[in-house]
Amino acid sequence: MLSDERRTGERDRGQILISTLVAAVVGGLLALGASLVLVASASNTNAPPVNKPLITYDQK
Amino acid sequence: MRRGPLGAAIGLVTGLLVLAPVLGRGIVLSYDMVFVPDPPITGSVLGTDGSVPRAVPTELLADLLARVLPVAVVQQGLLLSVFVLAGAGAARLVPGLPGAAAAALAYAWTPYVGERLLIGHWPFLLGYAVLPWVVGAALAARRGGSLRPLLLWLAAAAAAGSTSALIATATALCVVGVRPAARFGGVLGFAAVVSLPWIVPALARPGGVPADPAGVAAFAARSDTPLGLAGSLLTLGGIWNPATVPYGRDSALAAVALVAVLAALVLGLRPVLADTPGLVAAGAGGLLLAAAGALPGLDAVLRAVVVHAPGGGLLRDGQKLLAPAALVVALAAGHAVGRLARTPRTAPWAVLLAVLPVLALPGLAWGVGGRLTAADYPADWLALRAAVAQAPPGEVAALPWGTYRRLDWAGDRVVLDPLPRLLDRRTLADDALPLSGATVRGEDPRAGRVSAGLADGGRLPDVLRAAGVRYAAVHRTQPGSAATERALAGLPVLFSSRDLLLVELPGPTASMPPNRPRVATIGLGGAVIGLAAVIVRRRPRLLRSRTPDERTGA
């Protein structure tokens, strides 16, 4: 069975690493953007109640 | 670059993405996560006041750190360290940089982390972050290496509280295996010694630690996705509290999460099983226990264990036991990505699989979708603390009588009443857990008597005095505040502001239970001595596992 080093050269590994990191950053930014959209859409439904009823552990 | 630093860097980036809105903005208050400025070292954090020792020793260590650093820095440093430690620890367990990077991301970016962060279970999260280090050290010990690193990581897990210690110890024992028995016994014994800070107060507590059977159903894992309970747990979510589920979990993104987990398991579980079968067993066991509270038949067994077995209450909120399963999935994802990254033809799939955890859970970013907020305590809270400190000795009651608050200066989100942590004085507070459909009884018998007295129509000052309380501190902007203030009208006011009121209850009060410093001496002292023995001894026999050659006498 071939080891990682024989199957994948230094150059390949570098490219894979860079592409993985770039993808992680892009993924993070996508997550950030989507999160902000979700927050904006959810903010109306999560407004605290005006008259503050009994506070329970499972309230937002 | 080495795998550990790469994983730490990925953990740091994920931590910054999650915590960015709160970093440098003050103290994060969210459900059970309560930090206070200049925290006093009270009997609660030492385990000497007879309360259930949930805060021991984690909050004690955090409070000691807050003696030298601002508490917001301590809190945010601890939260950020969860991501860094988790990423670095997971990365070290997978060969090759691409696989290590994927494992780090898959372990640090999970619904488990988001849900436990929102509900404020930061000690669990520290235990979660330490778990891959425990597994790595256990694996090294099983292969004949020194036991010392494993024992030190178990001590770190114990410092993260009872649940973390339980998960780490059980996982470590699964990984090292039962043979040789001396090693198994040594690991178990040491884990017990470093857990003495919470074991001793729990054992010394009059009446033990009573658990309401209703808590098993109330805190059972539940579906937080369209995939049902099994799919929710398999995708590493399923917390009991629907209010602490990250945005997007109830959408089609859950299917993306399921694809990510299944792809990781199909492509990468085999090497994990070959390397660490004990970890896979621990993960499967944790998954079963997490589901037990919601499965007919098993729920009755779990209820019996929670109610009758010493320490059984630790299994009540079962979803937290998913931590080993999360590590199995992360390592499988790492191996899968490493395998796909070997050839340029499949490398794009490796990249996709590596980032799927993030794409499946965008709601974890930016303060778990903007739901983590940070704030500074208003000046009148600190003034109230000063007023209590100057008052003659006596216990304080936190009112209105209820466990949770909404603080308008902290985003109006649900948070455990901070007063018992803030005041350098013994503080009696309601510890029942009110839920939408029921209330789970608390564990403090004195608080229970106050609840019963008030439910029977007793006058608030009389009920509190009978419980040994001398002062009443009232949040004036909470549900029930107006009625509470009416009940205390005319009593001597020691402090008053827009938000807070402190009055003294007239007349003699019943005596309150004494502090028991011996409990802290035995518990903390025992743990420190045990830890010191491991650190100081040069080559203790116990700390060295026998190699296979030694075992066979070759």
Q: Taking 80 as the threshold, does the pLDDT of residue A14 lie above it?
A: no
Residue B429 near residue B459 (C-beta atoms within 8 A):
no
Beta-carbon contacts of B353 under 8 Å, excluding residues fewer than 6 positions away, are B102, B260, B263, B264, B267, B333, B336, B337, B340
What does the alpha-carbon distance between residue B486 and residue B329 come to, in Å, rounded to a whole number? 56
CA of B188, closest CA in chain A: separation in Å?
Answer: 35
- What is the separation, in whole angstroms, between the first and last Cα of chain B? 39
Counted across chains A and B, CB pairs separated by less than 8 A come out at 142
Q: What percent of chain B has pLDDT above 70?
A: 97
pLDDT 10s digits, B79-94 = 999 999 999 999 999 9
User: What residue has token string 């903005």?
Assistant: B25
pLDDT 10s digits, B161-217 = 999 999 999 999 999 999 999 999 999 999 999 999 999 999 988 777 888 999 999
Does B57 sit behind a cis peptide bond, omega within 30 degrees of 0 on the bond before it? Answer: yes
Mean pLDDT of the B344-361 span: 96
Mean pLDDT of the A12-38 span: 68
Task: Establish if A14 touches chain B: CB-CB under 8 angstroms.
Answer: no
Beta-carbon contacts of B151 under 8 Å, excluding residues fewer than 6 positions away, are B187, B190, B534, B543
Task: Establish if A18 touches chain B: CB-CB under 8 angstroms.
Answer: no
CA of A45, closest CA in chain B: separation in Å?
Answer: 12
Residue B410 has what pLDDT?
Answer: 95
ipTM: 0.90
Confidence at B519, pLDDT banded by 50, 70, 90 = confident
- Yes or no, beta carbons of B358 and A48 under 8 Å apart: no
Q: At what angle do helices B323-340 and B162-176 cross, to 10 degrees?
A: 50
Mean pLDDT of the B135-141 span: 97
- Yes or no, beta carbons of B96 and A52 under 8 Å apart: no
- Yes or no, beta carbons of A39 and B31 under 8 Å apart: no
Residue B378 gets which letter from DSSP?
P
CA of B244, closest CA in chain A: separation in Å?
Answer: 7
Residue A20 has what pLDDT?
Answer: 67
CB atoms within 10 A of CB B297: 8
Beta-carbon contacts of B139 under 8 Å, excluding residues fewer than 6 positions away, are B93, B175, B275, B276
Confidence at B310, pLDDT banded by 50, 70, 90 = confident
Q: Taking 50 as the threshold, does the pLDDT of residue B432 lie above it?
A: yes
User: What residue has token string 């827009």?
Assistant: B498
Write the CA distances from B487 to A6, B399, B435, B502, B529, integer angstroms.
80, 11, 26, 13, 50
Residue B536 has what pLDDT?
Answer: 87
| Per-window interface: A 27-46 vs B, CB < 8 A | 27-28, 30-36, 38-39, 42-43
What does the alpha-carbon distance between residue B364 and residue B445 come to, in Å, rounded to a whole number? 38
CA of B67, closest CA in chain A: separation in Å?
Answer: 31
Mean pLDDT of the B375-391 span: 97
Mean pLDDT of the B384-403 span: 97
Confidence at B437, pLDDT banded by 50, 70, 90 = confident
Residue B306 near residue B237 (C-beta atoms within 8 A):
no
Q: Which amino acid, one-letter code, is at B314? A: L
What does the alpha-carbon distance between residue B185 and residue B167 come to, in Å, rounded to a whole number? 17
Of the given ranges (A21-35, B175-189, B360-374, B442-456), which has the lowest mean pLDDT?
A21-35
Residue A54 has what pLDDT?
Answer: 84
3-state helix, strand, coil in chain B (%, to 5): 60, 10, 35
CA of B98, closest CA in chain A: separation in Å?
Answer: 6
The structure tokens listed for B351 are 């990249």
SS3 B94: coil
Nearest CA in chain A to B408: A48
Nearest CA in chain A to B342: A8
The structure tokens listed for A4 are 């990682």
Q: Taking 60 as the threshold, does the pLDDT of residue A2 lie above it?
A: no
Q: What percent of chain B has pLDDT above 90?
A: 88
Q: Could you tell me which of B30, B419, B441, B91 has the C-alpha nearest to residue B244?
A: B30
Residue A45 has what pLDDT?
Answer: 40
Task: Establish if A21 touches chain B: CB-CB under 8 angstroms.
Answer: yes
Does B40 sit behind a cis peptide bond, omega within 30 degrees of 0 on the bond before it? Answer: no
- Please report which residue ranges of B40-161 form alpha helices under DSSP H: 43-46, 58-65, 71-91, 97-108, 111-119, 122-142, 148-159
Q: Taking 80 as the threshold, does the pLDDT of residue B548 lie above it?
A: no
Task: Establish if B494 touches chain A: CB-CB under 8 angstroms.
Answer: no
CA dihedral sign of residues B46, B47, B49, B51: positive
Residue B49 has what pLDDT?
Answer: 86
Name residue B439's beta-bridge partners.
Answer: B434
Confidence at A43, pLDDT banded by 50, 70, 90 = very low
pTM score, two decimals? 0.90
Nearest CA in chain A to B477: A52
Task: Establish if B311 touches chain A: CB-CB under 8 angstroms.
Answer: no
Nearest CA in chain A to B364: A35
Best mutation target among A2, A7, A32, A35 (most B Cβ atoms within 10 Å) is A35
What does the alpha-carbon distance between residue B445 and residue B458 come to, in Å, rounded to a whole number? 17
Residue A47 has what pLDDT?
Answer: 35
Confidence at B138, pLDDT banded by 50, 70, 90 = very high
